[in-house]
Amino acid sequence: MTALTERDRHFLQEAIALSRRSREHGHHPFAAMVVDAHGEVVSVAMNASGSDRTAHAEINALRAASMKFSPQQLAGATLYTSAEPCAMCAGGAYWTGIGRVVYALAEESLLELTGSDPENPTLSLPCRELFARGQRAIEVIGPAMEDEAREPHLGFWKR
Single out the catalytic residue among 6, 24, 40, 58.
58
Based on the residue annotation, tell me whether 58 is a catalytic residue of this protein.
yes
Q: What contacts 24+ positions apart, CB below 8 Å, involve 153-156?
A: 153/29, 153/105, 153/110, 153/113, 153/114, 154/113, 156/23, 156/28, 156/29, 156/113
Instruction: Point out the residues that are catalytic.
Output: 58
